[in-house]
C-alpha cells in the first residue's frame, strides 16, 4: 500500500492509497487513536455507493456512527448547510470527543473539514476522497472552506485531517466527464513540479472514453500517490501559505475561480475551469515570464488529450469573471498575486500582472487555440 507522509509537527499524518482501502477506515481510525462517536458526512451521490461500507468499517472497529447526508454539488458548500449539519450533530449527541469522517469529493471534503474545524472549536476529521480531484489535491493539505455569493472559499480555515484514505477503485463509478476534470489537477502538478508526468498523462487519457482498464486500475495507486507526494512536499514547505511556496498550487486557479463563479454552480466543473485558467496562465507566462513556446505547447497538448476545455464558453462574460477575480483572496493592494511559469517545473509568484493583462488573457482564451499553442512536439512521446 503506497503511503505518503506529511511531516507537519504535531499535525503530521499519513495518506494511505490502496485499491480496496475503504474497508480499512475503522482500522486506521483505531490506529490513529480516535475516540468517541463518528459523524459521517457525505452527499447524496456518494452515500448510496460507499457510505454504508465506510459506516460498517467504523462499526466493526466499535465506533458509534451517525450519518449526515447533504445534497451533491457545490451549492452544499454554504453556511446554511453547515448550520443544518451542526444541528444534526448536536441532536445525535456529538461532543468534543467526536470526530468527523468525510467520504466524498472536494465539496464534501471542504464542507466536512470546515465543520470539524469549528465544531466545539475543532474536532478531528478523516478525509476519504472518492474523486480524482479530491484524491490528488483537495483532501491533502488541510484547507477547509465554504462559499458565499461573493466568491468561492472565502470563509474557511486550515485544519489538517488526522489521516486520509484514498481508494482508487472508487474512481470506477465516476462519469467520464468527472474523471477528465479531475486530471486537470494532475496536469497542474506536472507543470509546476514534475514535467515528466505529462507524457503518461497523455497516454492515460486514451483509456478514458471506455473507462480505466484493469491494468490502469492496478497502476492508479502509484499515479495517485505520486501526485499526493508532490502536494505533500509543497504543503510541508508552506503549510499556511506564509512563504509563498504553497501559492504555486494556485497555478491556473486565479482566473479559473473567476470563471467558476461567473456561471451557475455545476455548469462548469472545477477541473474544467482550471484548464481554462491554465491556458490563460500560460499566455501570461509567455508574455511576462518568458515561458518557451515548446513548454506551453506540451501542457496544452496534454489538456487537449484529456478533452478538457481550452476556450471560454460564449455564455461566460469576461467582465463578470474579472469582477470575481477582484474579490479573490490573492488580490491585494490593487494587484493580483499570480502564478506564472518561467519554464516547465519552474513556477514563480508574480505581482506584476495588471488588470489589463488579465483582460488580455481572458480575450485570448475566448478564441480558438492558436497555432503556436499546439505546434507538434518533436519528442512528445519520450520521457522528459
Say what the pLDDT of residue 212 is: 62
Based on the residue annotation, tell me whether 56 is a catalytic residue of this protein.
Answer: no
| 253, three cell numbers | 486557479
Pick the catalytic residue from 185, 239, 296, 298: 185
- Residue pair 102/42 in contact (Cβ under 8 Å)? The answer is yes
Based on the residue annotation, tell me whether 323 is a catalytic residue of this protein.
Answer: no
Pick the catalytic residue from 241, 323, 346, 360: 241
Domain ranges of the chain: 3-173, 176-374
Low-confidence ranges of the chain (pLDDT < 50): 378-384
Number of other CB atoms surrounding residue 240 within 10 Å:
10
Based on the residue annotation, tell me whether 250 is a catalytic residue of this protein.
Answer: yes
Say what the pLDDT of residue 214 is: 58
Query: What value, to the nearest 5°, has the Cα angle with vertex 124 and ends 103 and 237?
Result: 90
Say what the pLDDT of residue 380 is: 43
CATH architecture of 176-374: Up-down Bundle (1.20)
Say what the pLDDT of residue 213 is: 62
Pick the catalytic residue from 202, 270, 279, 286: 270
Based on the residue annotation, tell me whether 185 is a catalytic residue of this protein.
Answer: yes
Based on the residue annotation, tell me whether 237 is a catalytic residue of this protein.
Answer: no
Based on the residue annotation, tell me whether 143 is a catalytic residue of this protein.
Answer: yes
Helix or strand or coil: residue 295? Answer: helix
- Residue pair 116/99 in contact (Cβ under 8 Å)? The answer is yes
Question: What is the DSSP code string of 93-117?
Answer: T--TT-EEEEEESHHHHHHHHHHHH
CATH T-level fold of 3-173 = Rossmann fold (3.40.50)
Pick the catalytic residue from 77, 188, 253, 337: 253
Is the entire prediction scored with pTM above 0.95?
A: no
| 157, three cell numbers | 480555515
Strand 13-17 relative to strand 163-166, pairing:
parallel
- Residue pair 8/236 in contact (Cβ under 8 Å)? The answer is yes
Based on the residue annotation, tell me whether 257 is a catalytic residue of this protein.
Answer: yes
Based on the residue annotation, tell me whether 75 is a catalytic residue of this protein.
Answer: no
Pick the catalytic residue from 94, 257, 324, 330: 257
Pick the catalytic residue from 45, 147, 227, 250: 250
Based on the residue annotation, tell me whether 253 is a catalytic residue of this protein.
Answer: yes
341-378 burial, b at 16+ Cβ within 10 Å, e below that, comes to bbebebbeebeebeeebbeebbebbeeeeeeebeeeee
Based on the residue annotation, tell me whether 231 is a catalytic residue of this protein.
Answer: yes
Pick the catalytic residue from 55, 77, 94, 143: 143
pLDDT digits (tens, 9 = 90+) for 143-181: 999 999 887 888 999 999 999 999 999 998 888 899 899
| 208, three cell numbers | 478514458
pLDDT digits (tens, 9 = 90+) for 240-254: 988 789 999 999 999
CA-closest candidate to residue 46, choices 142, 92, 124, 111: 111
Amino acid at each position: 500500500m503506497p503511503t505518503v507522509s506529511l511531516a507537519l509537527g504535531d499535525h503530521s499524518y499519513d495518506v494511505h492509497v490502496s485499491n480496496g482501502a475503504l474497508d480499512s477506515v475503522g482500522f486506521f481510525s483505531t490506529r490513529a487513536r480516535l475516540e468517541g462517536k463518528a459523524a459521517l458526512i457525505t452527499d447524496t451521490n456518494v452515500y448510496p455507493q460507499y457510505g454504508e461500507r465506510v459506516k460498517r468499517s467504523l462499526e466493526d472497529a466499535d465506533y458509534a456512527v451517525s450519518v449526515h447526508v447533504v445534497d451533491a454539488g457545490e451549492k452544499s458548500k454554504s453556511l446554511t448547510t453547515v448550520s443544518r449539519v451542526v444541528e444534526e450533530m448536536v441532536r445525535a449527541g456529538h461532543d468534543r470527543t467526536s470526530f468527523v469522517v468525510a467520504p466524498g469529493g472536494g465539496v464534501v471534503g471542504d464542507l466536512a473539514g470546515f465543520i470539524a474545524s469549528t465544531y466545539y472549536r475543532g474536532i478531528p476529521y478523516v478525509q476519504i476522497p472518492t474523486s480524482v480531484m479530491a484524491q490528488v489535491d483537495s483532501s491533502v493539505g488541510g484547507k477547509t472552506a465554504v462559499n458565499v455569493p461573493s466568491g468561492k472559499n472565502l470563509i474557511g480555515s486550515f485544519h489538517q485531517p488526522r489521516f486520509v484514505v484514498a481508494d482508487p477503485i472508487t474512481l470506477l463509478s465516476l462519469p467520464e466527464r468527472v474523471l477528465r476534470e479531475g486530471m486537470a489537477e494532475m496536469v497542474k502538478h506536472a507543470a509546476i513540479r514534475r514535467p515528466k508526468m505529462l507524457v503518461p498523462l497523455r497516454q492515460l487519457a486514451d483509456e478514458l472514453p471506455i473507462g480505466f482498464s484493469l491494468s490502469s486500475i492496478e497502476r492508479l495507486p502509484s499515479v495517485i500517490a505520486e501526485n499526493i507526494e508532490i502536494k505533500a512536499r509543497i504543503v510541508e514547505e508552506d503549510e499556511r501559505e506564509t512563504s509563498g511556496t504553497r501559492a504555486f498550487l494556485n497555478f491556473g486557479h486565479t482566473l479559473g475561480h473567476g470563471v467558476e463563479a461567473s456561471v451557475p454552480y455545476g455548469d462548469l466543473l472545477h477541473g474544467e475551469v482550471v484548464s481554462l485558467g491554465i491556458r490563460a496562465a500560460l499566455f501570461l507566462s509567455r508574455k511576462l515570464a518568458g515561458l518557451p513556446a515548446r513548454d506551453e505547447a506540451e501542457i496544452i497538448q496534454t489538456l487537449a488529450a484529456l478533452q478538457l476545455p481550452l476556450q471560454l464558453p460564449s455564455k461566460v462574460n469576461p467582465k463578470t469573471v474579472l469582477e470575481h477575480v477582484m474579490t479573490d483572496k490573492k488580490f491585494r493592494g490593487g494587484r493580483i498575486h499570480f502564478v506564472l511559469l518561467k519554464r516547465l517545473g519552474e513556477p514563480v509568484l508574480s505581482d506584476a500582472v495588471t488588470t489589463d493583462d488579465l483582460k488580455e488573457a481572458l480575450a485570448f482564451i475566448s478564441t480558438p487555440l492558436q497555432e503556436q499553442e499546439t505546434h507538434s512536439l518533436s519528442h512528445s512521446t519520450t520521457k522528459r
